[in-house]
Structure 1
Amino acid sequence: MASEAQNRTYSVIQAGAMAGLGRNASYRAASTGQMPTIKLGRKLRVPALLWQSILDGQVAADTKQSAPANPLILQERTNIEPAG
């Protein structure tokens, strides 16, 4: 079960590295809402599908908004047109 969640999410540091960020900058991006996060127990994780969509420019990052835990909502979010 834990490995399934890990396949669908990245750690904050892993997600930040994908965007060229270091450890501190990654956690800062997560805390300011520039990186979507969900809390699983005590762990802060980044949803893989949503993060890939943001990095690919398909979805704009919502400031100060955590990613939804519900996969249906996540799917709907990935269909949103980029802002601006």
Structure 2
Amino acid sequence: MSPSPQAGTKAVIYCRVSSSKQKKVGDGLGSQESRCREFARYKGLEVVEIFQDDASGGLIDRPAFRQCFALSVNARTTRMS
């Protein structure tokens, strides 16, 4: 059994794919989100926001990533990737 986080711990989920094909098949955005939600439930975390980018990880300008990071820093939430 894994250790439980403090009661009321919040989490954000960040999902990213590099191509349009990945968005639709395999480990696309929906699959990533489902697995992250499952993990959050297992850990007793409350998911407060989902962020998704359809862009290469090599790109610096990923709008959802920047939003996710800003929320995590400002709200002191638990980050999941």
- Superposition TM-score tier, normalisation by shorter sequence: under 0.3
Max radius of gyration: which structure?
Answer: 2
Name the one with the larger helix percent: 1
Name the one with the larger strand percent: 2
Larger relative contact order (CA 8 Å, sep ≥ 6): 2
Q: What is the TM-score with the length of structure 2 in the denominator? A: 0.28
Q: What is the TM-score with the length of structure 1 in the denominator? A: 0.27
